[in-house]
Structure 1
Amino acid sequence: MPQHYTMPSTIQIVDYNPFYAKAFYDLNHEWISKYFVMEEADEQSLEDPQRYIINKGGHILIALFHG
């Protein structure tokens, strides 16, 4: 079961869930493209974080602001 970390009132930190896949992709694609160069490995990780990050022992936390 995913762990949830709650911060005062408006921000909640939750484990990655495929429900957040588009937001995860969009946010990370934007900052990588702005400050770096998107590479094939970045694209793969963002398109399938379960396979390229989580299944390899990594963790992804999502911050929810007012849900």
Structure 2
Amino acid sequence: MSLRIIPFTSEYSERFKELNVEWLEKYFYVEPKDTQLLDNSEANIIDKDGFIYFAQYNNEIAGCFALLKLGSGEYELGKMAVEAKFQGLKIGQALLSFAIDLAKGNSWNKLVLYSNTKLVNAIYIYKKFGFKEVPIEKNLPYARSDIKMELLLN
């Protein structure tokens, strides 16, 4: 398997949107906050001290994730998606491992994520990597979020 994790470049912004819309429409629907982030990911993520990375599998962009800055040393892991034809190859786990290593390498304190409990496989993998469920706040930007998890890094 030829898998590389590569950083965002403008040429991949449309692919970032495609990957996310695919999984959102499969399990949920595209919400206004998704549209805001996906329509202009460079301005709304990268330019706000965030990060986007892609999984390149045999020279195809197969998956992605974003890290959105919440505060000093605290980022939200979001917009993680792997195209259906590449699922089952542990690409999501490779992306998650990369995100955690990046956070540790930058001496961040915490990674936070929001998900939905119907995504049983994803929740299982998050727990496997050390994320713990924490109380979820009210009035979140996504209707689909019914679980909050965090990984303390220090």
Task: Give the TM-score taking structure 1 as reference length.
Answer: 0.75
Decide which structure has the larger Cα Rg and report it: 2
Determine which structure has greater relative contact order: mean sequence separation of CA pairs < 8 Å that are 6+ residues apart, divided by chain length: 1
Could you list the structure 1 runs, at least 4 aligned residues long, displaced by more than 2 angstroms after superposition: none
The structure in which a higher percent of residues are helix is 1
Matched residue count: 59
Query: Which structure has the highest strand share of the two?
Result: 2
Q: RMSD between aligned alpha carbons?
A: 1.4
Unaligned runs of 5+ in 1: 1-8
Q: 1:46: Cα distance to partner?
A: 0.7
The unaligned stretches of length 5 or more in structure 2 are: 60-154
TM-score of the aligned structures, taking structure 2 as reference length: 0.36
- Distance in 2 between residues matched to 1:57 and 1:19, nearest whole Å: 19
Deviation at 1:57, TM superposition (A): 1.9
Q: Give % identity.
A: 34
Partner Cα separation in structure 1 for residue 24 and residue 45 of structure 2: 16
